[in-house]
Structure 1
Amino acid sequence: MRLDKFICESTSLTRSLAKKALHRGEVCCNGEVVKDSSFKVTPDMHITLDGETLSLIGLRYLMMHKPEGIICSTQDEEYQCVLSLLDIEKPELLHIAGRLDVDTTGLVLITDDGQWSHQITSPKKACGKRYRVTVADPLSPELVAQFAQGVQLNGEDGLTRPAKLEIQSSHEALLTIMEGKYHQVKRMFGAVGNKVVGLHREAVGPLELDADLQPGEWRYLTDAEVEAVRQGRS
């Protein structure tokens, strides 16, 4: 990796500021000043900037308990983005693997590993997402078979993929879907004449929302959790 790129990826400096630091002689490799921005950095080298040791951030994997009123996009001026809740280096390099609506709470996965998040978001991977759904009208037992067969959404060709509906009470159910169409859960219940009044995502693939996380809190995934997604476990 070029030295100027190494500096950018391990600090908050832009490429131009990194080059200026190099020209000022503030960067050392194994104790020797290096001013060449194209200098090749290898893993065994010790790089410092103004006396402070630099190291690459590396790939990161997080889960967050998303609260209501927070969005999963940076393109909205009205609502706060989930990434703004992270006290972390370079949050702008992270992306959300499977977004939730502003009024939906629960498990959000955040990473800077595109291949890993592809395991979650690609329709071909059929990664299940489980939601706890509260509806306005009583749930009919017949919905279990109807959701298992697939539901015709307004404006869509064909049925949704088979979904698992587990009725918990007259107005609450667990729903596991294997895809992520726009507002899918709300539209599925709307297609059968009901209205979602509360929606909370409990699990994505093999990952369950950590019960110790309060709304707005987050933690890094364990190596085992990261690998479970990578292997497509459920």
Structure 2
Amino acid sequence: MQQILYSQGFGTRRVCTGLVEQGYVEVEGRACNDPYADVVPEGLRFRVQGTEWQYHAKAYVLLHKPAGFECSTRPSAWPSIYTLLPPPLRQRPTPKGQPGVQAVGRLDQDTTGMLLLSDDGAFIHRMSSPRHHVPKVYDITVRHALETTAVQRLLDGVVLDDDPKPVRAAACEVTAPCELRLTLTEGKYHQVKRMLAAVGNRVEQLHRSRIGGLSLPAQLAPGHWQWLTEDDLALLR
């Protein structure tokens, strides 16, 4: 039981031992007082100081990022997105590097929407690497009404100041005079804002609504998170 608590981010092994010995851990509705009790981890649900938790060998999490948060553990001016997560997700031990789940890519502090987090390095690389061309859909409000020529330029490719190779939108749909939906398969610094600036417009609001085949759940409020299911992971792939 001690090892399970440690693997889920409930503290050091010594802290986890203390939690069990002091009666703060319940398994199947009964107090567990033996830190070395044998427990099958798969499908295990337990309580720690009244908080219900389910065992996950690897953490795959979806966060509805609100505006005003930075995707950094050391934010410069705004609160960190990691403050929106419970301590166990921030403290999960990893084989190397920083403990806890890490964001799969980043969203600017004023950008809202879908953000994935995990402690699985291979998953993070697969979802964020431009080589895998994982589509990401953004709903955008711009300052000026969109013209057909601007939309076509986004599809044909625009040149950003740090890369002479044109960057193209995989798909572009105008949903209102000043609103569009943009699908990208790579992620560069401030890419959406810079692409719209390159066609003479300005982003007023930016929201990521889908990654791969998985859409942001309508019932997930800003600032809230949920575990990704196997079906969710299949849609992401």
TM-score normalised by L of structure 2:
0.76
Equivalent position SS for 2:160:
coil
Query: Which residue does the alignment assign to 2:73?
Result: 74
Query: Which residue does the alignment assign to 1:218?
Result: 225
- In the TM superposition, what whole-angstrom CA distance separates every residue of 1:112-137 from its partner, at most 9, and x where no partner exists? 12212222101100011110111111
Residues 134-173 of structure 1 aligned to structure 2 (within 5 Å): 134-173=141-180
Query: Which residue does the alignment assign to 1:189?
Result: 196
Contiguous gaps of at least 5 residues in structure 1: 31-40, 45-54
Per-residue deviation, 1:7: 6.4
Distance in 2, Cα, partners of 1:83 & 1:76: 10
- Checking the alignment, whether the CA contact within 8 Å between 1:66 and 1:108 is kept in structure 2 is yes
Query: Which residue does the alignment assign to 1:47?
Result: none
What amino acid maps onto 2:75 in structure 1? Answer: D
- Checking the alignment, whether the CA contact within 8 Å between 2:82 and 2:90 is kept in structure 1 is yes
Equivalent position SS for 1:202:
strand
Distance in 2, Cα, partners of 1:18 & 1:214: 33
CA pair 198-18 structure 1, distance change in 2 beyond 3 A: closer
Q: Which of 26, 32, 36 pairs up with 1:28?
A: 36
Distance in 2, Cα, partners of 1:70 & 1:206: 25
Larger of the two Rg values belongs to structure: 1
Per-residue deviation, 1:18: 6.8
Contiguous gaps of at least 5 residues in structure 2: 19-33, 43-53, 92-99
- In the TM superposition, what whole-angstrom CA distance separates every residue of 1:80-135 from its partner, at most 9, and x where no partner exists? 11221123524241011121100000111111122122221011000111101111
Does 1:131 pair with 2:132? no
CA pair 68-201 structure 1, distance change in 2 beyond 3 A: same
Query: Which residue does the alignment assign to 1:87?
Result: 86
Divergent runs of 4+, >6 A: 3-7, 18-21, 41-44
- Checking the alignment, whether the CA contact within 8 Å between 1:161 and 1:179 is kept in structure 2 is no
CA pair 207-121 structure 1, distance change in 2 beyond 3 A: same
Give me the identity figure in percent.
35
CA pair 42-213 structure 1, distance change in 2 beyond 3 A: closer
